[in-house]
Amino acid sequence: MFTFRTSITFAVMSFVVALTLLLVAIQLRSLRFATREAASAYMDATSTKVLGRLQGELSTISSLVHVLATSSSVADSNERSETGRAIPLFKAALQEFPQMDSIYAGFENGAWLQVRRIRDLTEEQREHFRAPANAEIAISLIRPTMDGDLPLRRIFQDKQGNEIGELDLWKFGYDPRKRSWYWATMQADNPYISEPYLSYSIGAPVITVSAPLRGKVPGVLAADLKLDTFSEFVQAQRPGEHGTVMIFDQAGSIIAHPEFTDLVTNAMTHPAQSSLPSIDEINTGMMASVIRGSYNKDSYEGSIDDGTGKGFLFRVTKFALGERYNGSILLLAAQDDFVQNVRRLQFTGLVLAILVGAAFLPIVWMFGSQMSRSIQRVTAQARQLQTLSEPELVPVTSYIKEIHALGSTMNLAQRAIWSFAHFVPKEIVRGLIENSISTRLGGVKQEVTLVFTDVQGFTTIAEAADPDVLMRQTSRYFSAMTAAFLAEGGTVDKFIGDAVMVFWNAPNPQADHVARACRAVLAAKAAGERLNVEFEADGLKPFITRFGIHVGEAVVGNLGSSERMNYTALGNTVNLAARLEGLNKDTRTTILVSEDVYSRVESLFKFRALDAVVAKGMTRETRIFELVGAST
């Protein structure tokens, strides 16, 4: 078996000689291939930059909307005013995130508050909005009357925040509760990204990012991302001088197009329909041919002629925005835009190949050993992936670009898997790496021990606490609980608000899983009591934890969709464990176990027998016991 240094020297020299002999013979083919590769790389860069910006802006707005939806300035009252606390908050958010067009909140009683940036609107849009010449901000407020009317008051402010005008529209006709961004968000009770549509107030194409209010009153907080300026950015990134980029969603609505402004203007012939221009309007030319060929395909690429003898490369790729919304990006690149650069590079490469070929042997031999050491270090890092070890601070480096990139990539992979193990139980991550856990949906029946925890009166604590302080306190609490469960080999399945679900005997078998669960709960209770002493010393409310333990058969496996799944347990065993935790409130206890748990480990732990009960949602009576401590 040859050493790496000998092998690479022989391989590289053989390649250089073969390349030198064959380069002239394959010049035309190489030119054609290189042209396609250059155009394809440019299209890759365009797709990455364009979709990265769109997804980045939506992700940023989604984070902001999620935070604002929990603010007491917005979510604690549906009685809005022109001087409410939410207005400075909305204005600051618009100032911080210029990609947003407006921020608004709609409430169940029909109230609506919007803060919109006016200075970025076109003259036509400002006229439609009835904005004064020097207006910077418009505050729109709907306060429902006793008769159910929804009159609008609009206040205009200048750059310094001074009021420079107001407008009252008694029959404005806008009911936020009937808008799709409102009812879709309320129905899902989760953050929501809308399909693109024409804005009701300014007639511009937008995407709305919304989230349900988390406070005292029901409602939805939302923000708009304008698409007219985004389309201009997209066209600036086109692949080559004669290239074209178009983006459309799954419904056929066009999000970006070289003539986007004209298409939107035509679509606004019937503005009440709130519809964007459709790909159905593109029925001639190369774009139309490519769109027809891409139907029902996740990816579609190839070459096409424009009818005058000029060749173009095309690509149609699907992408996702949020959980419910996806679209496609279409790119056209003229091959002639890349030929000159490729020919120059080809000639330069031929000259360099001849010059380097003569002196390459000693260079390869000198650096072969260094490359070998680098590859050995990368191999060692690959082995560490299975152990989920913390990655090295500095990746493997090399003067060879590919090895340097390989080292960086391997270090990134280590960091990704190591970080992934902080969000998913390590045993599951290790099982996925070793292929002992399937990535297909489905599960198997097996016996597991389930533990559910909950913090007594957490809702009351959360309402009175500062959100940032509560987040840090809850994280300290979860860290203490998780440490106790992991010490006994538990699989922390999920955090449900202030609750934790843990199970044993999966994914790896554990003969003493019931005893492990009981020891873990006792340790978690003790850790919680120690932590409460620290909380009270810091002036924080203590977290009194209640536990429920049950053992039985459950379906364990992958639940979810093909795109996103969760390794978890389902079945009556899980439900009963959760119900046992809830029964602590009635029995004035902190740890309740089922009779099945008691019968398994009665010799190892101390229990106090309680009455038999019918748990909520159950039909059969269940004997319950309080876990007091370990037997001495």
Report the pLDDT value the prediction gives residue 273, as an integer from 0 to 100.
Answer: 46
The gap between the terminal CA atoms of the chain, to the nearest Å, is 63
Q: Report the C-alpha gap between 259 and 247 in whole angstroms.
A: 12
Helices and strands (H, E) in the chain, number of each type = 17, 22
Q: pLDDT digits over 120-155, tens only?
A: 777 777 777 788 888 899 999 999 988 888 898 999
Report the pLDDT value the prediction gives residue 271, as an integer from 0 to 100.
Answer: 47
Strands (E) located in 90-216: 100-107, 112-117, 137-142, 152-157, 163-169, 192-193, 197-198, 205-212
Q: Report the C-alpha gap between 604 and 587 in whole angstroms.
A: 23
431-630, what's its fold?
Alpha-Beta Plaits (3.30.70)
DSSP state of 109: T
Compute φ and ψ for 25, nearest 5 degrees.
Answer: -65, -30
Q: pLDDT digits over 92-119, tens only?
A: 998 888 878 889 999 999 999 999 988 8
Helix (H) or strand (E) holding 504: strand 499-504
DSSP state of 227: S
Q: Report the C-alpha gap between 575 and 550 in whole angstroms.
A: 9
Q: Report the C-alpha gap between 92 and 259 in whole angstroms.
A: 34
Domains 46-337 and 431-630 share a fold: no
Q: pLDDT digits over 563-612, tens only?
A: 777 778 898 899 999 999 999 998 999 999 999 999 999 999 999 999 88
Q: Dig out the tokens for 99 from the structure.
A: 């990609």
The residues spanned by each domain of the chain are 46-337, 431-630
Q: Decide if 507 contacts 491 (C-beta within 8 A).
A: yes
- Which of 93, 82, 91, 80 minimizes the C-alpha distance to 115? 91
Specify the pairing of strand 112-117 against strand 100-107.
antiparallel
CA-based R_g, the chain, Å: 32
Q: Report the C-alpha gap between 176 and 62 in whole angstroms.
A: 20
DSSP state of 240: S
- Which of 323, 327, 243 minimizes the C-alpha distance to 291? 327
Report the pLDDT value the prediction gives residue 272, as an integer from 0 to 100.
Answer: 45
Q: Which residues contact 475 (CB under 8 A, 6 or more apart)?
A: none
- Which of 123, 156, 153 minimizes the C-alpha distance to 137? 156
Q: Which residues of the chain have pLDDT under 70?
A: 1-13, 15-17, 19-32, 34-36, 200-203, 265-275, 321-325, 338-347, 349-350, 352-400, 402-404, 406-407, 410-439, 617, 619, 632
Out of 3.40.50.620, 3.30.450.20, 1.10.3470.10, 3.40.50.11750, select the CATH number for domain 46-337: 3.30.450.20
Residue with tokens 């360099």: 352
Q: Report the C-alpha gap between 389 and 430 in whole angstroms.
A: 11
DSSP state of 273: G
Compute φ and ψ for 490, nearest 5 degrees.
Answer: -75, 155
Using DSSP's 3-state secondary structure scheme, residue 451 falls into: strand
Compute φ and ψ for 429, nearest 5 degrees.
Answer: -60, -45
Instruction: Give the number of other Cβ atoms within 10 Å of residue 144's Cβ.
Output: 16
b/e burial code for range 81-116 (CB count within 10 A of at least 16 → b): eeebebbebbbebbeebeebbbbbbbbebbbbbbbb
pTM equals 0.46
Q: Report the C-alpha gap between 535 and 545 in whole angstroms.
A: 14
Q: Report the C-alpha gap between 160 and 602 in whole angstroms.
A: 73
Q: Report the C-alpha gap between 21 and 127 in whole angstroms.
A: 70
Q: How many residues does the chain have?
A: 632
